[in-house]
């Protein structure tokens, strides 16, 4: 994706188009899986400091551009929120996530909504997440190498 497309994608959110925001969004758009804060730091370390990356993540998360996933072992991972180009302010829908036990990649399954659950009235639900684990489509296609 080129910088013009990235600017077009970010503009409706009313954020100033700074270099850190453009670069972080470019990383999300070029990945087909969720990204950790550590990965973002590694990919931007020559250009931006830790605080800048963290603030960019917070701004994106507050606006719904990305969403936070709590992975296996309580690790925090961030993924781009899929929103139609026609309505970028549409609320984020809860969906399933898939965690690969081979490559440790975490993928959004946007078409698979979290099943609705009914709890007793004494509980107030704020969010629900569901992680499916197994072997991803990419690792499934790779033959195991002999040792």
Average pLDDT over residues 102-109: 87
Per-residue pLDDT band at 85 (split at 50, 70, 90): very low
Q: Note whether residue 21 is domain-resident.
A: yes
Domain that holds residue 69: 3-141
Least-confidence region, from 36-40, 103-107, 114-118, 132-136: 114-118
Cα–Cα separations (whole angstroms), residue 49 to 25, 27, 34, 99, 142: 16, 16, 21, 29, 36
Q: Note whether residue 122 is domain-resident.
A: yes
Please state the domain count of the chain: 1
Phi, psi values for residue 105, rounded to 5°: -75, 145
Contacts (Cβ under 8 Å, ≥6 apart) of 138: 100, 103, 105
CATH code for position 50: 1.10.10.10
Per-residue pLDDT band at 117 (split at 50, 70, 90): confident
């Amino acid at each position: 994706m080129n910088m013009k497309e990235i600017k077009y994608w970010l503009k409706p959110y009313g954020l100033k188009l700074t270099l850190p925001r453009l670069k972080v969004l470019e990383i999300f758009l070029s990945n087909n899986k969720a990204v950790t804060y550590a990965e973002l730091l590694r990919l931007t370390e020559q250009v931006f400091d830790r605080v800048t990356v963290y603030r960019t993540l917070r701004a994106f998360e507050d606006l719904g551009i990305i969403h936070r996933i709590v992975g296996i072992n309580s690790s925090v991972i961030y993924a781009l929120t899929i929103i139609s180009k026609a309505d970028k302010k549409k609320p984020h829908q809860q969906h399933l996530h898939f965690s690969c036990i081979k490559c440790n990649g975490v993928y959004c399954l946007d078409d698979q909504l979290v099943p609705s659950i009914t709890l007793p009235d004494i509980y107030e639900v704020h969010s629900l997440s569901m992680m499916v684990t197994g072997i991803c489509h990419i690792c499934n296609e790779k033959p195991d190498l002999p040792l």
